[in-house]
Amino acid sequence: MSTNRGTFTDEFKADAVQLMAQENRPIAQGASELEINEGSLGS
């Protein structure tokens, strides 16, 4: 079984964190909207 791991730029990471902080959204909702895994966003 192979896995397809994506890599995220520092800019994407910073934008995702900023979005979550400003909007006060649950991690699950933000991860779904960004189409990434909850664990990735939570980290």
Q: Where are the domains of the chain?
A: 10-42
Contacts of 19 (CB under 8 A, 6+ apart): 25, 30
Dihedral sign of CA atoms 25, 4, 13, 15 in order: negative
If one counts every other C-beta atom within 10 angstroms of the C-beta of residue 23, the result is 11
pLDDT tens for residues 1-43? 556 666 889 998 888 888 888 888 888 888 888 888 888 887 7
Q: Name the pTM for this structure.
A: 0.64
